[in-house]
Structure 1
Amino acid sequence: MENNTIKTYKGFDKDMTCRGFQYEVGKEYEHQGEVKACESGFHACENPFDVLGFYPPCDGKGNLRRYCEVEQRGELDRSENDKVCSSRLRIIAEIGLNGLINAGARFILDKVNWKDAKESNTGNRSAATNTGNCSAATNTGNRSAAMVEGKESIAIVTGKESKAKGALGCWLMLTERDENWHILGVKAVKVDGEAVKPNRWYKLKNGEITECND
């Protein structure tokens, strides 16, 4: 059991409830009683992408989920499935799916040893595909690709000269790097059928979402 303060991320239903408990942005909540992961207390995730495993973008009834950056403190207990349970939780700000994806990209990129990745070249020119609904395809290799075909899914690429595509309604998270593999920018965009077409490849170039050839 820990006793600390950490920044985490949490998903909610469309009315800002989670398992029937009503939350509000800016407020802090305290749990009375035992703090035990997956059983009793307030739950959130340190890795923003882990939130999607518990609260995917849609609820199965056509309603979009909501996402917030939160602060957990007091007694903390961690589960084996990446959730953090706490006695106190404060809703810092609502960030939406776009903000959750960008936060997830930063979380992953901060933990990657790019020097070792550059030397090993693991996953370069590779592809990741996922066809399930509310799923994710992630690729960290250089000149690699990620594609999603299921509803409300996310394709994520973090390598140099990487690209992604998805079906209508999906999200793409794109990364731009310079010749020394330094990150120039990260952007998330929805495949809306207008600015971003379904089943076409896109990459981040000069800070802009750009369609590219197969």
Structure 2
Amino acid sequence: MRAFKGFRKDLTCLGFQFREDKINRTEEANCVKNGFHCAENPLDCFHYYSDWRNSVYYEVDAGGDLDEDAVDSKISCTEMRLIRRLSLEQMLFEAAVYMVEHPKRQWNYGVKKETGTACNGYGVVRGKNPRAAGEKGDFLLILKEEQNSPEIEEIALINIDGKRWHPHKFYDAYGK
């Protein structure tokens, strides 16, 4: 199963040392108490590894025994293979893909409705007329829904660079 996972920079998580070149295995999978944890929604990784500057994120293949809980998109598995390391920008892109593919699923706690500003280097805003602003270096993910449904009709992923995209200015899904 395709999922996403955060780690400490040394690829450890709760004392387990993960390796990129093999399938990592454990005995049991229970979301509450054991197994390798990952998330179907990339944004859920930021709940568990919020300091993205001191963490690393991967697309993973979750296998073996699987267990899910109803808290968020967290999954526990007994086998995990690290597919590819993702930057913050790539994680936000994957989050956009997730929301396009699953428009009716519950929103991640970090997604702001209609208007928001970046915090900790990024901001995610979704709605009928979403607008977002940030500081230089921040990433803004802006998702515009169709007027009569939660389906996503337009996406902008903006890096506030101080040249084309300016700090403290609110942008919509069309970059205006």
TM tier, smaller = 0.7 to 0.9
How much does 1:96 deviate? 1.8
Tell whether 2:32 aligns with 1:12.
Answer: no
What is the CA–CA distance in structure 2 between the aligned matches of 1:150 and 1:137, rounded to whole Å? 11
Larger Cα-atom Rg: 1
How much does 1:44 deviate? 0.2
TM-score, normalising length from structure 1?
0.65
| Structure 1: tracts of 5 or more residues without a match | 1-5, 114-134, 140-144
Q: 1:73 aligns with which of 63, 72, 97?
A: 63
How much does 1:186 deviate? 3.2
SS of 1:40 mapped into structure 2? coil
When residues 106 and 136 of structure 1 are mapped into structure 2, their CA distance, relative to the original with a 3 A threshold, is same
Greater length-normalized contact order (CA 8 Å, ≥ 6 residues apart): 2
| Structure 2: tracts of 5 or more residues without a match | none
TM-score, normalising length from structure 2?
0.77
What is the CA–CA distance in structure 2 between the aligned matches of 1:111 and 1:174, rounded to whole Å? 16
Who is 1:39 aligned against?
Answer: 33
Deviations 1:98-131 (A, max 9, x none): 1221221222222226xxxxxxxxxxxxxxxxxx
Who is 1:166 aligned against?
Answer: 134
Who is 2:115 aligned against?
Answer: 146
Q: 1:51 aligns with which of 26, 45, 48?
A: 45
User: What is the number of equivalent residue pairs in this alignment?
Assistant: 170
The CA RMSD measured in Å over matched residues stands at: 3.0
SS of 2:96 mapped into structure 1? helix
Tell whether 2:124 aligns with 1:155.
Answer: yes
How much does 1:86 deviate? 0.7
**One-letter identity of the residue aligned with 2:138:** C
When residues 77 and 69 of structure 1 are mapped into structure 2, their CA distance, relative to the original with a 3 A threshold, is same
When residues 179 and 112 of structure 1 are mapped into structure 2, their CA distance, relative to the original with a 3 A threshold, is closer
Percent identical: 25
**One-letter identity of the residue aligned with 1:197:** H
When residues 42 and 109 of structure 1 are mapped into structure 2, their CA distance, relative to the original with a 3 A threshold, is same
What is the CA–CA distance in structure 1 between the aligned matches of 2:160 and 2:42, rounded to whole Å? 21
